[in-house]
Structure 1
């Protein structure tokens, strides 16, 4: 018996017209050799074949091996594809099938799947680094933030290859550089973490004129019970601070090989004063500073953290991309996340923002709490991506962020890895239906309340993420409509950052469409069903009405409707 254990693209991201390598992990459980064919098919989101490649198999008895197959990718930009991997035998036909996905995009910021790296210890073996980056490739990540990789916030590169960072971690530039190389090989952009205002005490003492001060004349600092005032806050408007920081960014890219920079702030210094007493409005200074930072690195990729949405509109005036928001209270509800994403897309012509939303209860030592918080992770993933956003969550192999200090991440269990991979296969496969800037949100117009355009046969549904309901997310683009569904049944609150119960499965969910347009086709896809394939749905018409039935909803799903042209 031949088994197809796993299948996945070799890289996290691909560009139009490239060749993709798909790897199939095979096991011949028989005592006899196996001779057959390995076939890889590339399918559009709605299952039309656009390319195929085949390779003959000749496996020894009991052999376990990984077989690569190359397949050409289309020239179209911003497209997601299903990848069907099949094992066939001349007499026995198709013996095994697995589905995976990939997407093709010229610029990662157009369809961001942003991850992180935070472990750069000198004792990490090369094989461990390779395994971690390979795991991230299976989630189809296309960019990585290298968090706290540097020697000091104002001076990135240390005098020796091994060094101790400001919080006492022992790090190695060799490990950092190895992971940069691996990320680039995996089709992921490597972005260096850079705090836009952070200086060690020795830099403050040497350059007090570059710092920001309170009204009483004391300097702004970050303090720690162990390290005291360990970081001072410079004035981003000061030309000498800009010279210092931008030169460090250029040096990091030139000497380390980074592709770009991830600019961070701390969210709390909004108004300060120079050493001479002049008032500094940080929000007013930010757009020019951020654009200057990107220009200083030659227009390379540059993101910036609008902490708790501050100051999102000002950041949108700059050239950094994508917009990136670290979410904190009072943005506690699913509905808050929706509003953040829609506002960010509006500010940037429909482009997807990245949200850093940390599930704090993944820090628990209670297995039951961790299980319930994993349900929260899957709903959080659905909520963000179905609205056309992205979530920085995954990194360091199979880790999930649970804290603003990235080295404090949660390691996924094997069963959790499988579920999260299914979610990210889905995200890559339907990239066009999630990230395209032309999608327009019409949830509050078509679903819920008095709206009869899209109606589910369910007791509670609507666009506002109410507890114990089915959350409906409707979007239109030309002759297409999508309806995203997130299963909130059984939830007692609309809080995203809280442990949640497992979803109550809904079967044979009927959807009525009353849109004064002729429905030409309808498909339904879910990461929890048929390995994410788009299933064609029969359409029952009753005059102006059309009915379709969704076979099953667990955590989340997506209905894709196409209307007859001109109807």
Structure 2
């Protein structure tokens, strides 16, 4: 029997994330075109360390889906990440290999892999494939986008209703999907705009609105009118109570949205006009909301949207569970995505960073070639993940966001779904090396220019600046590790993160790396979401003389889009 007789082989955890003390299983799906006896070897790793190995034998009937389960190692108390390798064999011949990952955390804020749901039509009742797909990408916190009756009255008065955009929705379906995501170890976050009232609401409460200097009300598309969020305002009392009711109704938290404007506006108090600086109001509203929802659910979460990074400098230290940034121009280059993440981390909140970076090149009406869009998407994902950020991109049933209005999502081609799953497997398995709060970015002090602590040699240039036509080198330090990220920008026509690309970067081969030895070495390893089977490579190295003492020298066999090399120190 050869590979062509295997019609399906997959492995994934039965939950998106596990809690301490919980049990879990890896689910293995196998289907063959002919009857046969197969062996499945399953290995569980913590980074590169083998923790468990299980060998299974299974008899398959032609055309029938066989489901197996393997107990997982779940020994973490705060946050631990694991990788799984599965090999399918017959008669001692390996037919296929698959990889997946999972993690354990005391709260999703440790690793907020954000996804979305936006389809709540009555026809969706009983259709939970979307939740299954979220699970396979390990999306552990899910935004329920535009699930509500109105922006100023969130919980629907009836099970069937029209939303402000004219969509027919079902609150029964909303509740069903809340339960389904929670069963998979995901948190259900209710979308709610902090200051959006419909036009009729403003007409009834004109002194609750925010106005331009000429007296006209601020609004978005003449549907959503901007309300006054000053502390103590009637609207603030109203919307906080709405958020409280939402958590009381079963949601796990609130996604607090804003529109990025106005930044300053006027409120009308009687015949007086008062200037409102919204940047000063947001942190107070966030803290008040979190205080109220925690009274209902002691683990209730909160995420606030810093549109275009505004006003992250004011909101970073407020009581929320992650720093969420919706990316808009003038942030247009890949290196500027890293800049957003670096800046957010530098504010010192010790919160993880999520970028909402939409990919319009996938929108069907854009008329782009799917491969063009995919070539750009992997570079955007690689940049965000290597920089230590998470990416709100995926949701529904294998769909991808293309605009700020989530129902305008796009489907991924089946061939691309597998590649994106590898990227999400990667950030789960290597979560500590990517997202630990003790990571220190030393890209501009250890390599490039006058810095010789880490040097690279190959067929192309290497630089820490994210320059087009070069290999981008991101260097991180973590107690016990030196981590080198190489992102390939060679052969690209531009470095715009929103754009697709005519081709993938030109593969780089046999990259020689020299790293000053600051500690004794236990091992040097390479891993990449571009490796089809998800393996970790142990790299051979030698000790050579260096101008500052001794150095490790090793070779990275190849670089497609993104490869991570980590040096494990023996004396830290």
Q: What TM bracket, shorter-length normalisation?
A: over 0.9
Partner of 2:278: 282
Distance 1:472 1:385 in 2: 14
1:13 aligns with 2:11: no
Distance 1:533 1:360 in 2: 32
Distance 1:542 1:402 in 2: 49
TM-aligned CA deviation for residue 110 of structure 1: 1.5
SS of corresponding position for 2:289: helix
Q: Is this contact kept in 1: 2:76–2:105, CA < 8 A?
A: no
1:541 aligns with 2:508: no
TM-aligned CA deviation for residue 93 of structure 1: 7.7
SS of corresponding position for 2:78: coil
Distance 1:54 1:16 in 2: 26
Paired residues in the alignment total 554
TM-aligned CA deviation for residue 511 of structure 1: 1.1
Partner of 1:226: none
Q: Which runs of 5+ in 2 are unaligned?
A: none
Partner of 2:571: 565
Matches within 5 A, 1:57-456: 57-60=58-61, 62-87=63-88, 92=92, 97-127=97-127, 130-223=128-221, 229-237=222-230, 238-255=232-249, 257-276=250-269, 277-298=273-294, 300-363=300-363, 365=365, 369-456=369-456
Partner of 2:562: 556
Distance 1:205 1:349 in 2: 40
TM-aligned CA deviation for residue 365 of structure 1: 4.6
Distance 1:499 1:113 in 2: 23
CA change 1:31–1:264 in 2 (3 A) is: closer
CA RMSD of aligned residues (A): 2.0
Distance 1:72 1:545 in 2: 36
TM-aligned CA deviation for residue 507 of structure 1: 1.9
Distance 2:35 2:489 in 1: 49
Q: Is this contact kept in 2: 1:349–1:437, CA < 8 A?
A: no
Q: Is this contact kept in 2: 1:52–1:71, CA < 8 A?
A: no
Distance 2:399 2:168 in 1: 20
Partner of 1:519: 521
Distance 2:510 2:20 in 1: 38
Distance 1:39 1:531 in 2: 14
Q: Which runs of 5+ in 1 are unaligned?
A: 224-228
Distance 2:89 2:363 in 1: 46
CA change 1:279–1:559 in 2 (3 A) is: same
Q: Is this contact kept in 2: 1:78–1:431, CA < 8 A?
A: no
SS of corresponding position for 2:223: strand
CA change 1:120–1:538 in 2 (3 A) is: same
TM superposition score normalised by structure 2 = 0.92
Distance 1:528 1:353 in 2: 24
SS of corresponding position for 2:124: coil
Of 19, 23, 26, 1:22 maps to 26
Distance 2:194 2:66 in 1: 47
TM-aligned CA deviation for residue 382 of structure 1: 0.7
SS of corresponding position for 2:505: coil
TM-aligned CA deviation for residue 204 of structure 1: 0.9
Deviates more, 1:504-513 or 1:347-356: 347-356
SS of corresponding position for 2:197: coil
Distance 1:76 1:139 in 2: 23
Distance 2:40 2:487 in 1: 36
Distance 1:410 1:515 in 2: 47
CA deviations over 1:223-247 (Å, ceiling 9, x no partner): 2xxxxx2121111114321221122
TM-aligned CA deviation for residue 63 of structure 1: 3.4
Q: Is this contact kept in 2: 1:55–1:69, CA < 8 A?
A: no
TM-aligned CA deviation for residue 366 of structure 1: 6.6
Question: Which ranges of 4 or more aligned residues in structure 1 deviate by more than 6 Å?
Answer: none
Distance 1:433 1:347 in 2: 21
CA deviations over 1:359-391 (Å, ceiling 9, x no partner): 222225576543222111111111011111110
Q: Is this contact kept in 2: 1:198–1:233, CA < 8 A?
A: yes
Q: Is this contact kept in 1: 2:316–2:349, CA < 8 A?
A: no
CA deviations over 1:34-87 (Å, ceiling 9, x no partner): 3x66453321111x2223556553444553322223224112432221112345
